[in-house]
Structure 1
Amino acid sequence: MNVTGDDVRSLALSLPETTEQFAWGMPIFKVSGKLFLTLPEGETSMAVRCPILDRDELVLAEPAKFWIAAHEAGNAWVRVYLSALDDREELTAIVTDSWRQAAPRALLDSP
């Protein structure tokens, strides 16, 4: 699958209360003011929230797809090469999971 930054942007902005801003030289996405996704490296990858144990397992299992930026090693974030994603379903699962980790409980509980 050939995923682009525009695909990620469109998906992220379709999620409730998501906004796009530009910071640190890249597009960033927040839900209710809380960061959940960035598009670094010229929008060829994305950084998403991911619990550290899960992140480490992902990187070990699929190093051609997932990696950890040195400055994020101590944080619950993982990078994903957009070109390595299998399909739209995988993209949706990754972005939505990151959004859920940042979204306020009230937003998650609303219909």
Structure 2
Amino acid sequence: MAASPTARLRRICLALPEAAEVETWEQPTFRVRGRIFAMLHAAPDGLAVWFKAPPGSQELLLEAAPDRFFRPPYLGHKGWVALRLGGSVDWAEAAAQIRRSYSLIAPKRLAARIEGDDAG
């Protein structure tokens, strides 16, 4: 049996250095040293993961795949993006987006640890 989207998201996030899960607003949030880099959002229209994107990426993702990505409320104006977790999810893409978000939020020394992993 396939893992639930929540379990898969948890596995991706908690594999990152010093990542921790904290329930906030009755939803799991994933943090590094207290700062959120990803969060699960359950809404009537389904599950989504919200993550921080580099400048300019939000517009590119929303244009390229509006069926999968959307601008989340509250954080969308800060460049965050949401990925729908319903239907067929490209989990490699989801992991890459989450890792990139982590690298934008984490202290440089921790971010460098995953960048080194990506190179090898």
Asked if residue 27 in structure 1 is aligned to residue 38 in structure 2, the reply is no
Secondary structure (helix, strand or coil) at the match of 2:83 reads strand
Q: 1:47-89 CA distances to partner (integer Å, 9 max, x unpaired)?
A: 0001342101111110001001232232121110013565332
Q: Aligned equivalents of 2:10 and 2:41: distance in 1? A: 12
Aligned-pair identity (%): 25
Offset of 1:16 from its aligned partner?
A: 0.6
Q: Which runs of 5+ in 2 are unaligned?
A: none
Equivalent residue number for residue 92 of structure 2: 89
Q: Which amino acid aligns with 1:90?
A: E
Q: Aligned equivalents of 1:101 and 1:109: distance in 2? A: 11
Offset of 1:34 from its aligned partner?
A: 1.3
Could you tell which deviates more after superposition, 25-34 or 14-23? Answer: 25-34
Distance change >3 Å, CA 3–CA 79, structure 1 → 2: farther
Number of residue pairs aligned between Structure 1 and Structure 2 = 111
Question: Which runs of 4 or more aligned residues in structure 1 lie more than 4 Å from their structure 2 counterparts after TM superposition?
Answer: none
Matches within 5 A, 1:89-108: 89-108=92-111
Equivalent residue number for residue 64 of structure 1: 67
Q: Which amino acid aligns with 1:88?
A: W
Secondary structure (helix, strand or coil) at the match of 1:71 reads coil
Distance change >3 Å, CA 70–CA 87, structure 1 → 2: closer
- TM-score for both structures, normalised by structure 1: 0.86
Matches within 5 A, 1:35-74: 35-41=36-42, 44-74=47-77
Distance change >3 Å, CA 88–CA 3, structure 1 → 2: farther
- Over aligned residues, Cα RMSD in angstroms? 2.3
Q: Aligned equivalents of 1:47 and 1:12: distance in 2? A: 12
Q: Which runs of 5+ in 1 are unaligned?
A: none
Q: Aligned equivalents of 2:88 and 2:16: distance in 1? A: 20
